[in-house]
């Protein structure tokens, strides 16, 4: 994006949201870490999605409350990743992709005309299945990598504090505090994934989306990430896709069960409190799925 476009978009954003400048100033104080965290409620309203003519999601509505962990479960191909990508405007990166419906971040539609894509991405972070740190970049620089891209200016001391704080929150600080200048690529898979979580946290997202963040990890690293998720709930709203039912039961407050039956688009069969979804599901398909009878 050219500077000119960026400036224009910034102005448009400011006109649409006069408090924006103030929020940006608040966000530019990395030192004020914990005070700066501000988890938001994310609400999907009648989301349908297509790749070309292929409709892959139909009428998905779901509220993902602030300070809660929402787990998205369901068999492969039912549209969980597509839904997650729609929640932070990554779906539109695919040329053939389209969607309808609204995504509200504390009531504001992230798809409103005039809203910048970067605005949504900054507030709604994403952690992927395969850890993707910048392998040659130091652990320290990996954590601060998002700052510049998000236009956040920080001095050396602020950065030091931010790196420690984010690595701490991601449950990695003790393991790497003595080797912050070593490359991110030298860490184990589980450590790399926690580094990616730290990197996401550094730009103070209000929501963190995680697409099967543990599926490439061993059981010990998986437990470590699950602990991290627990510790983050006061900082950020979490939405996690998982194929592991025990994990969904352990980490989430509420669950949404997605299904795409016989060539129909994916939709939510049932959603609710995690306890109820596992112990007293209302739909027989949910019962079968959570008990491992298919998928
Ligand atoms: N980039 C893409 N281009 C075309 N079709 C896609 C693309 N990504 C996903 N799909 C299709 O969208 C549907 C949902 O996929 P996905 O969201 O990845 O499901 P899940 O994450 O639940 O496994 C599938 O039919 C898949 O083939
Ligand atoms: Mg997926």
Helix (H) or strand (E) holding 286: helix 284-290
| Residue of the CA atom closest to atom 12 of ligand 1 | 56
Kindly identify the ligand whose nearest atom is closest to the C-alpha of 53: 1
Q: What's the CA-to-centroid distance between 15 and ligand 1, angstroms? A: 37
- 122 and 13 share one domain: no
CA of 94 to the centre of ligand 1 (A): 11
User: Does residue 34 fall inside a structural domain?
Assistant: no
67 vs 271: CA distance, rounded Å? 18
> Which atom of ligand 1 is the closest one to the Cα of 84?
17
Looking at the fold, whether 148 and 6 belong to one and the same domain comes out as no
Cα(227) to ligand 1 centroid in Å equals: 29
From ligand 2's centre to the CA of 77, what distance in Å? 7
Number of domains in the chain: 2
The predicted pLDDT at position 114 comes to 86
With cut-offs at 50, 70 and 90, classify the pLDDT of residue 191: very high
Ligand nearest to the CA of 210: 2
Contact between residue 236 and residue 208 where contact means Cβ atoms under 8 Å apart: yes
Q: Which residue from 48, 50, 74, 81 has its CB within 8 A of the most atoms of ligand 1, so it is best to mutate?
A: 81
pLDDT range class, residue 294, cuts 50, 70, 90: confident
In a domain, 229, yes or no: yes
Confidence of residue 56 (pLDDT cuts 50, 70, 90): very high
- Closest-CA residue, ligand 1 atom 17, reads 79
Q: How far is the CA of 128 from the centre of ligand 2 (A)?
A: 10
Which atom of ligand 1 lies closest to the CA of 258? 22
CA 217 to chain CA centroid, nearest Å: 18
pLDDT class for 36, splitting at 50, 70, 90? low
Compute how many other C-beta atoms are within 10 angstroms of the C-beta atom of residue 234.
10
Ligand 1 neighbours (beta carbon < 6 A): 51, 56, 76-82, 94
Tell me: the pLDDT tens digits for 203-231? 999 999 999 999 988 899 999 999 999 99
pLDDT band at 24 (very low <50, low <70, confident <90, very high): very low
Q: How confident is the model at residue 263 (pLDDT cuts 50, 70, 90)?
A: confident
Residue nearest to atom 1 of ligand 1 (CA): 94
Choice between 213 and 29, residue whose per-residue pLDDT is larger:
213
Query: Are residues 49 and 23 part of one domain?
Result: no
Assign 3-state DSSP to the chain and report helix, strand, coil percentages, each to 5: 45, 25, 35
Extract the tokens encoding 119.
């605005």
As a whole number, mean pLDDT of residues 23-34 equals: 41
Q: How far apart are CA 81 and CA 216, in angstroms?
A: 16
52 shares its domain with 137: yes
Residues 55 and 172 in one domain: yes
Q: Are 43 and 22 found together in one domain?
A: no
* One domain, residues 146 and 191: yes
Confidence at residue 149, expressed as pLDDT on a 0 to 100 scale: 80
Ligand 1, atom 25, residue with closest C-alpha: 77
Residues 63 and 147 in one domain: yes
Distance 47 CA to ligand 1 centre (A): 15
Confirm whether 174 is domain-assigned.
yes
Pairing mode of beta strands 267-273, 254-259: antiparallel
Both 189 and 257 in one domain: the answer is: yes
pLDDT at res. 34: 32
Domain that holds residue 20: 1-27
């Amino acid at each position: 994006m050219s500077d000119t476009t960026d400036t224009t978009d910034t102005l448009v954003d400011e006109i649409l949201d006069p408090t924006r400048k103030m929020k940006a100033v608040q966000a530019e104080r990395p030192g004020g870490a914990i005070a700066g965290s501000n988890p938001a409620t994310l609400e999907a309203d009648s989301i349908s999605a297509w790749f070309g003519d292929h409709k892959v999601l139909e009428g998905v509505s779901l509220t993902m409350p602030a300070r809660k962990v929402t787990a998205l479960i369901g068999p492969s191909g039912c549209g969980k990743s597509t839904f997650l990508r729609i929640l932070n405007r990554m779906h539109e990166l695919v040329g053939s992709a389209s969607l309808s419906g609204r995504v509200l971040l504390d009531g504001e539609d992230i798809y409103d005309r005039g809203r910048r894509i970067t605005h949504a991405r900054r507030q709604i972070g994403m952690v992927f299945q395969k850890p993707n740190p910048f392998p040659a970049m130091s652990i320290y620089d990996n954590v601060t990598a998002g700052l510049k891209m998000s236009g956040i200016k920080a001095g050396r001391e602020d950065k030091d504090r931010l790196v420690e704080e984010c690595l701490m929150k991601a449950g990695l600080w003790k393991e790497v505090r003595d080797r912050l200048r070593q490359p991110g690529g030298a860490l184990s898979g589980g450590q790399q994934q926690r580094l990616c979580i730290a990197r996401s946290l550094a730009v103070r997202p209000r929501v963190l989306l995680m697409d099967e963040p543990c599926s490439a990890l061993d059981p010990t690293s998986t437990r470590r990430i699950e602990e991290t998720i627990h510790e983050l709930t006061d900082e950020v709203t979490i939405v996690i896709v998982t194929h592991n039912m025990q994990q969904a039961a352990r980490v989430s407050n509420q669950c949404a069960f997605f299904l795409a039956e016989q060539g129909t688009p994916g939709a939510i069969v049932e959603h609710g409190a995690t306890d109820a979804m596992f112990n007293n599901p209302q739909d027989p398909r949910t019962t079968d799925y959570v008990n491992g009878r298919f998928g």
